[in-house]
Chain A
Amino acid sequence: MAKKQNEKKYLFDNPRNVKRLLGIFYASLVVLLGLEFFIHKHPHFAWEKWFGFYAIYGLVSCILLVLIAKYVLRPLVMRDEDYYDE
C-alpha cells in the first residue's frame, strides 16, 4: 500500500509543472511593473513617486533580511539543539 502511494505522481513531482509555475511567476512580475504606467499615484512621501519603488524596496529589503539573518544573526545566536539541557 505504502509502495503504491510512493509511486503515485503528484503535481510538482513533474519538473515541467515547477517550471511552468516559475514562468507564470516571472511573467506576473513584468506585468506588475508594466501596470505602473497606467496608474495615478497619490503618495504620502516623495520616494513613493519613483518608478517601481515598492518592487525594489521589497526585493532589496528581503535580500538584506536574509543575508543579515544568515551571516550576522545566526553566528551570534545559534547553539546546539541541547544547549539548554546541559
Chain B
Amino acid sequence: MTSSLLIPPPFVFILGALLVACLRGRLLKVVAVAVPVVSFLILYSAPDGTYGSLSFIGLDLALAEVDRLSRIFGYIFHLIAFLGLVFSLHHDDCAHYVVGLLYAGAALGVTFAGDFFTLFLFWETLTVSATFLIIARRTAGARGAALRYLLVHAAGGLCLLTGIVLHYHASGSVAFTALDLAQPGAIFIFLGFGLNCSWPLLHAWLVDSYPEATIAGTVFLSAFTTKSAVYVLARAFPGCEPLIWIGAAMVAFPIFFAVIENDLRRVLSYSLINQVGYMVVGIGIGTELAINGAVCHAYAHILYKGLLFMSMGAVIYRTGKINATDLGGLYRTMPLTAAFCMIGAAAISAFPLFSGFIAKSMIVDAAAGGHFQIVWLILVFASAGVFHHAGIKIPFFAFFSHDAGLRPKEAPLHMLLAMGGAAFMCVFLGVYPDFVYGMLPFPVDYEPYTFAHVLAQRQLLFFSALAFTLLLLAGIYPPEIRSVNLDADWFYRKGSRVFTLAADRIFNGINSWAERVLGWRLTGVLVRFFSEPGGNLQKYCMRLATEYSGAEQRADLLEQVDRRSRTATYPIGVWVLLAVLLLAIMSVLFILF
C-alpha cells in the first residue's frame, strides 16, 4: 500500500475532535481551526488511489478512495469547514467545535468511502452529529426540530441500509460503484440518498431544522448533508433520467415558498433546495458537461450559501432577530456584513463575474444541449426567481427596506474574516473560473463569458429586479407576515399527533379494560373460588338444585358443606367415587384419541 496519505481526512477530523474535547480556552480554538488545514495538506499531497483497504467480517472495505470527483468535494469541504470554524470562534464551549469537526469529518468520510459499509457508518454519523448542531441552540423550537431531524434521517438511513443489504445479497460486493435503478436494492439506496438531498416531499426536514440551529451550526449544515448527498448521487446514479425531473421540481417549487416566508434563514433554506435542484438536474442529464456543471455548482454553492447563512448569523448574533418583519435598515451600522451579504446574493443569483454564473451556466447549457426544452425553461425561470427571493429579498429586508430602528454593532472580527474569505472566493471563482474548472472530474471545454451569454443573463436578472421594484412600489409585493407556512412536514408533525392520540385511545383502552376485567374482577372471583374450591363447587351445585326443584335452601346442609371443606373431612366413599370417575374419563379419552 502506497501510504503518502498519512491518515485519511475523515480520521484526521475525528482525531482532531477527540483532541479538541480535551482542550480549553485559546488553545482549543487554535487546534480546532488547525484541523482542517492539516487535513487539507495531507489530502493535497496524496496522489489518487485507494487507501485503508481492509477486510472486516468478510467484507472488503476501502476507507478512503481518492479520485478527481471525491477530491474536489474533499477540497471544498475542507475550505468550508475552515471558514465555518473561524466563523464560530465566539463560542467558548468545546462541544460546538467537537460536534462541528465530527460532522465535517463524517461528510468527508462519506465523500471518500470506497464501499457501502464505510459509507453507511459515516452517513449515520452525519445524522447524529447534525442533530447536536441543531439542539445546541438550546431553545424549545430547536429541540423539537432536532428530534424530528433525527427521526426523519433515521428512517432515511434505514432505507439506505435496506438497499445496501439487498444490493450485497444480490451482487456479493459492497464496493461503492455506479448503480442501475433496476438492480435489486438500488431503489432503496436511491431514496436514502434522496432524503439527504432533500427531494420534493422528502425535503421538509431541511426547512424545518436549519433555521432552528445555532448560527454557526447552520453554516455547517448548509454545506455538508445535502452536498455529500449530491456527491453520492453523482457517483452512484449519473445519467439516471428520473433525476432530471426530480431536480426540476426541486428547482421550481421552493421559490414560491421563499417569496412568502418571513424567517430569512428559512428563505435561505428554501433557496438551498432550489440550488441543489440544479445539481440534481445536472447529474440526471449525465453528460460530461452536465456532471462538471453539477460538481462546479456544488463547489460554488457551498461558498455563497455559507456566506449568506454567515451574514444572517451575524445579524442574529448582533440583534437576536431574524424575521423580516423585525429587521430592516441594518446597512447603517453593519455595512461590511451588508456588503458581504450582497456579494453572496450576487453569487447565488449568478451575476457575471460571480461564482454562480460560471457554474450554473454549465448546467443550463447542458440542458439546452440535450434539448430538454421544458427543463430548460424551468431552470431559466428559477434563475430569475432565485435573484428575486434570495438575491434581492435577503439583503433588502435585512439591511435596507424600512428602518427598524436597530443600531447594532458591526459583526465581530472573526465573523468578518470568515465572511470576507467566502466573499473573496465568490468573486475569485467568477473572475478566474479556470481555478475550479481545472479540478472538475472531466476535462472542461466551456467558455461562460461570451458577450451574448453575459447580456442574456444580465437582461434576465435586471428585468427580474424590475419586477420586484414595480411590485414593491405598487404595493402588490406580499407584505411580510408573522406566520407559519405549512409544508410536507405537516404530515408528520400533525400526523404524529393523530397517531399518538389513536394509539392512546386504542392501546391504553385495551390496557385499562384488561386491568379492570382480568386484573381485578377475574382475580377476585378466582381467589374467592379457590379459597374453598370443593366447598364452593358443592354450594354452587346445591344452589342450582334448589333453583330447579323449587325447594327451600337448607341452611343445615350449607353449614355441613362449610364445615367439611374447612376441615377436609369427606367420607371415603366420595373420594373413591371421584377417583373412579376420573379413571373413566381418562379411559374414554384414551380410546377416542
Contacts and interface: CB of A to CB of B under 8 A. Distances in A.
Nearest to A33: B459
B31 interface: no
A83 B464 CA distance: 33
Contact of A56 (B452, B463, B481, B484): B463
Interface in A25-81: 25, 28-29, 32-33, 35-36, 39-42, 44-45, 48, 52, 54-63, 65-70, 73-74, 76-81
B70 to A, nearest CB: 32
B256 interface: yes
The secondary-structure label for the interface of chain B is helix
B260 interface: yes
Nearest to A82: B484
Contacts of A56: 463
B259 A29 contact: no
A58 B452 contact: no
B486 interface: yes
Nearest to B255: A65
Contacts of B466: 25, 29, 59
B460 A39 contact: no
Contacts of A67: 476
B235 interface: no
A29 B460 CA distance: 10
Interface in A1-22: 2, 5-6, 8, 10-13, 22
B477 A36 contact: no
B478 A74 contact: yes
B483 A78 contact: yes
Contacts of A66: 259, 388, 467, 471, 476-478
A45 B467 contact: no
A57 B260 contact: no
A35 B455 contact: yes
Contact of B462 (A2, A32, A73): A32
B376 to A, nearest CB: 7
Contacts of B468: 62
B419 to A, nearest CB: 21
Contacts of A33: 459
Contacts of A48: 456
A41 B368 CA distance: 15
B384 interface: yes
A70 B462 contact: no
A3 B333 CA distance: 14
Given A25-B465, A57-B381, A61-B385, A70 B459 contact: no
A82 B144 CA distance: 14
A69 B259 contact: yes
B384 A61 contact: yes
B460 A58 contact: yes
Contacts of B333: 5
B90 interface: no
Contact of B407 (A2, A44, A79, A81): A2
Of B255, B380, B456, most buried by chain A (CB within 10 Å of CB) is B456
A45 B371 CA distance: 8
B469 interface: yes
Contacts of B317: none
Contact of B460 (A2, A22, A55): A55
B464 A58 contact: yes
B171 interface: no
A65 to B, nearest CB: 5
Nearest to A81: B482
Contact of A54 (B255, B369, B407, B456): B456
Of A8, A62, A69, most buried by chain B (CB within 10 Å of CB) is A62
A81 to B, nearest CB: 5
Given A74-B478, A77-B486, A84-B484, A62 B256 contact: no
Given A36-B459, A73-B257, 10 more contacts: A13-B403, A25-B462, A29-B462, A32-B455, A39-B451, A42-B450, A44-B369, A67-B476, A70-B478, A83-B486
Interface of A: 2, 5-6, 8, 10-13, 22, 25, 28-29, 32-33, 35-36, 39-42, 44-45, 48, 52, 54-63, 65-70, 73-74, 76-84
26 contacts: A10-B331, A10-B332, A12-B400, A13-B403, A22-B469, A39-B451, A39-B455, A44-B369, A45-B373, A48-B456, A55-B462, A56-B463, A58-B384, A62-B384, A62-B463, A62-B464, A63-B471, A65-B384, A69-B257, A70-B476, A73-B260, A77-B485, A79-B486, A80-B483, A80-B484, A83-B484
